[in-house]
Amino acid sequence: MTIEPHFHDEPEVEEPRFATPPARVILVGAGPGDPELLTLKGLRAIQTADVILYDDLVDPAVLELALPRVRRIHVGKRGGRPGWKQRDIHELILAHAFGGRTIVRLKGGDPFVFGRGGEELAALRDAGLAVEVIPGITAAIAAAASTQVPLTHRLLSRTVTFLSGAGPGSGLPEFTHIDLEALNDGQHTIAVYMGVKSSGALGTTLIGAGWDARTPVLAIENVSRSAERRVRATIRDLAERPEALALKSPAIILVGRVAGLPVAGRLDVLDQAVTEIRERELAYA
């Protein structure tokens, strides 16, 4: 009898499937401008990025910290100038969030202080992407350090409010969402972001809310950068002649008794404000 050899069927071997690792998306605060104010964690994120989407206010020196191979995409926008719509920025982030790339969304200051980081975070979460957030030094904090004017002071200011001076679209804010009368207790500091265009309206509104028109104001342009400029004035100056401050964006405006404290470094003072601030300082003494 002939026995036919029996060949066992070879087991099917499934082709290996290499799942594409999920994209890594990181919202990074670049700080106010000076690259040395970038956090170590933010620096590490920048140096591991494959793609960086950066804002208009991110200093070029910060971008130079990235590796040469990194793709850098400018998605900046400034009030009153042509720029990216927020929806388009969301779509661009999502378009690059595949293939296991590390994407850094680089924002001036801190992503969650008037940086619309919350909106981008929501869009990425809705798309099923995990997001890491690395904070940055926000402009008000950097301005306080640069001028050596504290935002809080045991005798002069016990609370601080961060206020946006930008309205919806390209309009000016009405400041109706905040009770400025309640903050008029002589123990409060207001730090106004994006307030150059609305500085006149801010001064008028503060006076209407009962703030003393002689209250000191300290405006700082280009905080932490080589072109930093400081101007001291009063709320009356804001209301009656904001153009005399000759402010340029980006600038942070500090309002309150602490704004009358001595400032480290160069300081421009409006003539009208000099006498009033000295009188005010004598009254506080």
Residues designated catalytic: 55, 77
Any residues with CB less than 8 A from the CB of 249 and at least 6 apart, and which? Answer: 78, 79, 194, 196, 221
Tokens linked to 135: 């904070």
C-alpha pair distances (Å), 152 with each of 17, 56, 155: 58, 30, 9
State how far the Cα of 257 lies from the Cα of 246, in Å rounded to an integer.
Answer: 22
State how far the Cα of 161 lies from the Cα of 111, in Å rounded to an integer.
Answer: 17
Cis peptide before 262 (omega within 30 of 0): no
Contact 106, 48 (CB under 8 A): no
DSSP letters spanning 51-65: EEEE-TTS-HHHHTT
User: Cα-flanking dihedrals φ and ψ of residue 160, to 5°?
Assistant: -135, 140
CB 93: neighbour CB atoms within 10 A?
24
